[in-house]
Amino acid sequence: MRVVSISGTRGSGKTTLIRKLVSVLSAMGRSAGIIVNEVGEEDYTPDFTSTYGIRLAKLRGG
């Protein structure tokens, strides 16, 4: 298993990058999981997670 940590300020493109990586991995027949350590607006909709078979976990106060 490979783990990639992505961090940055608000609006820096973290979610956009993750969405792109997930779509590329899916096209390669690979799977992905996302751990979110953020409170706020939902960036990963059920449509997105089900399309790519993503398991999403949320950490609060981590």
Instruction: Say how far apart CA 15 and CA 6 lie, in whole Å.
Output: 9
Q: Where are the alpha helices (DSSP H) in the chain?
A: 14-27, 46-52
Asked whether residue 2 is domain-assigned, the answer is: no
Compute CA distances 10 → 2, 24, 33, 39, 41, whole Å.
25, 24, 21, 12, 12
Residue 49, SS3 per DSSP: helix
Assess whether pLDDT exceeds 70 at residue 60. yes
The domain in which residue 22 lies consists of 14-58
Asked whether residue 1 is domain-assigned, the answer is: no
Whether residue 31 contacts residue 61, with contact meaning beta carbons closer than 8 Å, is answered with: no
pLDDT tens-digit map of 5-56:
998 888 899 889 999 999 999 999 998 888 887 666 667 888 888 888 888 8
Asked whether residue 18 is domain-assigned, the answer is: yes
